[in-house]
């Protein structure tokens, strides 16, 4: 099953490691550093191009991490994922 993250982006739910709320987690110094490093390594995919980013989703597929920034709230994403037993 796939989880829609916004725009035309969907990810395979079995590749999802975590779903984070951007407001609650981006205040941490460690998280800021992680987001900065992920951006520098071109691992960030901004799905929320015109919308306000509300969450980010960390995925891993075949050893490759990607971080999707989504306009959809983390609560909504978790609910959607739970509907299909992530």
Is 49 exposed, middle or buried, given 0-12, 13-18 or 19+ CB atoms closer than 10 A? Answer: exposed
Q: What pTM was estimated for this model as a whole?
A: 0.89
Q: What is the pLDDT along the chain (86 residues), one digit of tens a residue?
A: 899 999 899 999 999 999 999 888 888 899 889 999 999 999 999 998 788 999 999 999 999 999 999 999 999 999 988 875 54
**C-alpha to C-alpha distance for 47 and 29, rounded to whole angstroms:** 24
Q: Which of 21, 51, 80 is nearest to 11 (CA)?
A: 80
CB contact at 8 A, 58 and 17: yes
The residue range of the domain holding 33 is 2-83
The domain tally of the chain equals 1
């Amino acid at each position: 099953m796939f989880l829609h993250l916004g725009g035309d982006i969907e990810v395979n739910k079995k590749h999802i490691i975590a779903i984070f709320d951007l407001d609650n987690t981006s205040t941490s110094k460690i998280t800021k550093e992680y987001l900065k490093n992920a951006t520098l390594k071109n691992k960030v995919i901004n799905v929320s191009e015109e919308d306000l980013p509300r969450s980010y989703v960390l995925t891993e597929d075949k050893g490759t991490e990607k971080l999707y920034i989504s306009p959809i709230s983390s609560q909504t994403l978790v609910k959607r994922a739970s509907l299909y037993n992530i």
